Structure 1
Amino acid sequence: MPGKTRHSPLKNADRDYLALGLEGSANKFGAGIMKHSKDGSTTVLSNIRHTYITPPGEGFQPRDTALHHREWALKVIDECLVKSGVSMHEIDCICFTKGPGMGAPLQSVALIARTLSLLFNRPLVGVNHCVGHIEMGREITGAQNPVVLYVSGGNTQVIAYSRQCYRIFGETLDIAVGNCLDRFARIIDLSNDPSPGYNIEQEAKKGKRLVSLPYATKGMDISLSGILSAVEAHTLDKKFRSKGASDNSLEEDIITPQDLCFSLQETVFAMLVEITERAMAHIGSKEVLMVGGVGSNERLQQMMAIMAQERQGQVFAMDERFCIDNGIMIAQAGLLSYRMGYETPLAKTTCTQRFRTDEVHVAWRA
């Protein structure tokens, strides 16, 4: 997917550059190849991923997820190269997720990246997972200087750029939004295929009753463990009707799984919209960029759009190809760093599970 670059002038603009990006911070292993042309345009040449899916009611464990990544790495990378029409000898740099994420999967991807680097004598670039999401979002949507709502399985942050750093305005105080949705999906035995969050979204569309749940915004931060406990408690209530169960109670007294999915989404998303609007007001921005797997949720996009329109603003969102963890976002952020002269020495290709977004020097933005 081509797009004109919107970054400050990058170094080394005398020729085309190619980067291989490898992502595997959670249950998806992805590989993507990004091209930066000397005329300033960018092109996604390929973006392949494979997801580790567990049975309903079960989450994914670090060890099993790492084994999945090792099993699928060569297949995914090979398909990525074939689709792009590029060989490893043409790649300028190999970019990999340094963190944040799950330790064992991150280490598996770093090992794969180091092996390719040694085999083909290519430099490595460690990438912050969160910054990868942001830079891919800016590239695909054309957002100039937005407030960023980053919502995924492991992260929930409201971010804005200032002085070559992505500053965190607010975040979750306990569990991430995606984790909250996934855990409730396990409680009501929803399938993990293609993802628990997606299946929550589909069930929520069938909900007819808004159940009162705790609403916990604390300044610019939010807390989600309380709402998860509350919605789980409803599943133990005698008025709760599980799938296929018969109940002689009056219909208006019955709470269905669909009602709880609907109520959980509406309440949590309202909290996210509130803190995002507060950040917009603080920095005077008219743009919201939504990134991360939960950012592809249509209801969240709709609620955010209503808020933005009331402020004469605009929402920039993407579909699941670029919102959900993928290799191309790592290639994009890594290539921006590489063209500013940054490389990760082999001895420093360790992983950092708690690699903060605001620890990255965003040298490619003015």
Structure 2
Amino acid sequence: MSENQAGRPAIPAQAIPASELYTDEFAADPYPAFARLRQGAPVCPVTGARFDTYLISRFDDAKAALTDPRLSKDLYGPEQHYLRIFGPNSEGLNKNMLNSDPPEHDRLRQIVSQAFTTRRVEALRPRVAGFVESLLEKIIPRGECDLMRDFAIPLPMMVICDLLGIPEIDHDRVLGWTQVIRTSGSSRRPPEQERAAVQEAQLRLNHYLADLVQAKRAHPTAGMINELIDACDRDGKLTEPEVVTTTFLLLFAGHQTTADFIGNATVALLTHPDQLDVLRAKPDLLPAAIEELLRFDGPLPVASPRIATEDIEYQGVRIPAGSIVGVVINAANHDPAFFAEPDRLDVCRERGPHIGFGHGVHYCLGVSLARMEARIGIGALLRRLPGLRLGVPADQLRRLPAGSPFRGLLELPVRFVA
């Protein structure tokens, strides 16, 4: 029986070693492996990585799991699951609404959501457009660039730092720390040195943000950080540590996935020239194309970890209490039971029910801002860089390692007509 037929059979779980799944071939193109999981092991335990995980890969199961109250996001409760996932130095940065359940999650999200109203995001449009133009003005005369280094990464960093109120003089330092975390596992250093480097970056970023909060309390400025401080000092709705951890979440989530998405989307278009031509001929398709590009190759292949609070069952597979569960968003978004010809990029595809921004109470808070940045940024690339093409063959692009929580590129060399 094929995977898109009704009444798909429940298949017993058989553990897959991480070394067999997370290969170099997987890093280059994970979608054949995702198809095998959906068809043969839709609920699959993976062992031998930093922590063992049950992967859920079919679309209907993924949506159900993202709203299943038995799958907790609270990693900092009595069981201290964060130690397995993030390590001992993570609490100062990662104890935030992403890793919490209602009502704690709702309390924190309600405060932060004020920064991402439609009206407030629209007010940022001229600033975003200005950042895009300033970056392109440096790139255009050269006729070539590393699009990740010169555009995709700095653009969302500039936007989120502007929203938060992080001084421009500190942008490079902050970006350096976040990139150490993002690119973990991509160097040739031994694993223990890699872990030490990440922990050092976490500590430095934690100390910087804590000091910045104190400085902004003493000398208030415009920006979201001071609004969080007000929620702490005036209303008592946040604690001092929560101001710091919420700032980190907004900073990291506010630029990381958008940067990787711009890179992935650019590669998808450049390797599908027919779709690139359609989009250039009909730029009004861009909003729908952004959704299709996100479905086609999203920057967050697996949703952030969840913990089974009791024994649960999906597809006839028992997931024991205490297990870490990963919802494979990018596999679900290629499920042929829900998307016609899911492995085909179609910028004219009607906006479908993809879960690239998540689902349920943890649905991406910054979705409006991310969409706006992508539309302005990618639209400008197509408009301002004629003859845009890859600077190396697609199979030579350097990507984040296979076991990374992100789907993105280390470098994206491109050429164009200067």
TM norm. shorter chain > 0.5: no
Specify which structure has the higher proportion of helix.
2
TM-score by length of 2: 0.29
**Greater fraction strand:** 1
